[in-house]
Amino acid sequence: MTVLGVLVAQNIAFGVIAAIMVFAALRLVTTRNVVHAALFLVVVLGGVAALFLLMGAEFVGITQILVYIGAVVVLFLFGIMLTRTRIGNEEGTDHPRRLPAVLAAALVATITIYAVVTGFGDAELPADTRTTTAEVADSIFSTYIVPFEAVSVLLLAALIGAIVIARRN
């Protein structure tokens, strides 16, 4: 395939993924069925992983699938189960007055999109943006060793905290 062909393919892939993601995200925040919401979340997270791969960030993409779809969504499903939120359509998942939320979201979208459009215009990503897992590993274990350690401790603290909060006395 020519360079142009690759570019066209990439853009088509992006368009399809983006459309699916936006649709899923919208359904995620509007559906009344909590389990469906979790499944729409899977779609969005998978889309994000696909975007990572599209940008050549293989390790982050794989981690996204492993951690988010593998662990976080399962955690959510457990959460739904344990809090006995009724499965199936139900009333009371949303606030009765949603207009302020719509306005706030619209404001956020307007300002951010305005900022990136004026700020980056037609800036192109480099043709080859692939990075290898080895590079990521090198960076984490040299430049970012301290944040890495800090995040490890944070995870441990969250683990202990979650257990302490959730246990029955």
Partner 1 sequence: MLLNQFLILSAVLFAIGVYGVLARRNGVLVLMSIELILNAVNINLVAFGSYVSSISGEVFALFIITVAAAEVGVGLAILLLLYRNRQSVDLSEADLMKG
Partner 2 sequence: MSLQGVGVLAAEGAAEIVQVGGWFLSNAWIIPAIPAASFFAILFFGKRLPRGGSELGIIAVGASLVLALCTAGQWISTVNGAHGAAVEPVVNRWTWWVAGGVDFTIGTLVDGLAVALLFVVTAISLLVHVYSTDYVAGDVRYTHFFAFLSLFTASMLFFVLAENTIQMIVGWELVGVCSFVLIGHWWEEKPNSDAALKAFLTNRVGDIGLLVGVSVLFFAAGGTFSILEINTRALDGEIGHTLLLISALCLLAAVISKSGQFFLHTWLPDAMAGPTPVSALIHAATMVVAGVYLVARLYGVFFEGMVIAGSSINALALIGGLTTLVGASLAFVQNDIKRVLAYSTISQLGYMVMALGVGAWTAAIFHLFTHAFFKACLFLGSGSVSHAVHSFDMKKDMGGLRRHMPHTYRTFLIASLALAGLPPLAGFWSKDEILAGTGGWGVFGGTGGNGAYTAMLVMGMLTAALTAAYMTRCVYLTFFGRYRGHGHPHESGRRITVPLWILAVFAVGAGWTNLPKGFQIVPKSWTEQFGHYVEPVAAEHFYFPVIAHATPSWTLAIVSILVVLVGGGLAFAYYALVDRRAAAGGSATELADGPTSRWGAARLGHTLLVQKYYLDHLYTGIVAKGTAGPVARGAYWFNQHGIDEVVNQAGRKALAAGHVVYDKIDQKVIDGVVNTTGVASHGAGEELRRMQTGKVQQYAGVMFVASVILAAALILVL
Answer yes or no whether residue 8 interacts with partner 1 by CB under 8 A: no
Answer yes or no whether residue 146 interacts with partner 2 by CB under 8 A: yes
Q: Which residues are paired to 131 by β-bridges?
A: 57
Q: What tokens appear for 63 in the block?
A: 């981690």
Enumerate residues 6+ apart whose C-beta is below 8 A from 55. 125, 129
How far is the C-alpha of 53 from the C-alpha of 47, rounded, in Å?
Answer: 10
Scanning residues 82 to 111, which ones bind partner 2 (CB under 8 A)? 95, 100-101, 104, 107-108, 111
The CB-of-45 to partner 1 minimum distance in angstroms stands at: 7
Task: Give the binding-site size for partner 1 (rule: CB under 8 A).
Answer: 87
The binder of partner 1 chosen from 1, 63, 69, 146 (CB under 8 A): 63
Q: Which residues are paired to 57 by β-bridges?
A: 131
Residue 142 partner contact from partner 2, partner 1, none using kind-dependent CB cut-offs of 5 to 8 Å: partner 2
Answer yes or no whether residue 29 interacts with partner 2 by CB under 8 A: no
Q: Are 73 and 45 in contact (CB under 8 A)?
A: yes
